Amino acid sequence: MSQLNEHKMKKISVVLLLLSLACTPAKHPAAVKIRLINNKQSIEFRGLNYAVMQEIGRDSSTEEWQSLIPVYRMPRDTDMKNYQPEQPGRYELKDNAVIFTPDTPFVAGQVYFVRNYRLGEGSTLADYIKGRTQPGRTHFTDLIFKQ
């Protein structure tokens, strides 16, 4: 199998895993916690779904990690928050945590945020009937930090 086909198969398996988790409502989703490490040059994520971490960790591509826990620089006008480019960097799976190290160091005094997509939340029929969610809406929490 060519490398291109192998890469496509990995992406398909990650998407299928994420979809299966999205279709299964989580009764008590774990809270994702972040903290700055390595002299405030990296972020450590804890509390992510272990199965998702292991599946994505098999691929060295950052695209899958950025689709789950992207890091952004907070704009001055916070109304523009949804239009920011992702902070480029490297994700690494270490024990039960994911470590993100940006390509360029975090700027002292700059505010950043991590968008934590809560897959599977609000996806039951009852959530739609009670108006807690709408079709196509993805639930997320923004975790704000400052270097």
Domain count, the chain: 1
Q: Are 84 and 66 in contact (CB under 8 A)?
A: no
59: closest CA among 32, 111, 108, 98? 98
* pLDDT tens figures, 29-65: 457 899 999 999 999 999 887 877 887 777 656 677 8
Place of tokens 């398909």: 12
- Domain encompassing residue 102: 3-146
Helical ranges in 24-58 per DSSP H? 50-57
95: closest CA among 50, 65, 62? 50
As beta bridge partners, residue 42 has 37
**Could you tell me the pLDDT band of residue 1, with boundaries at 50, 70 and 90?**
low
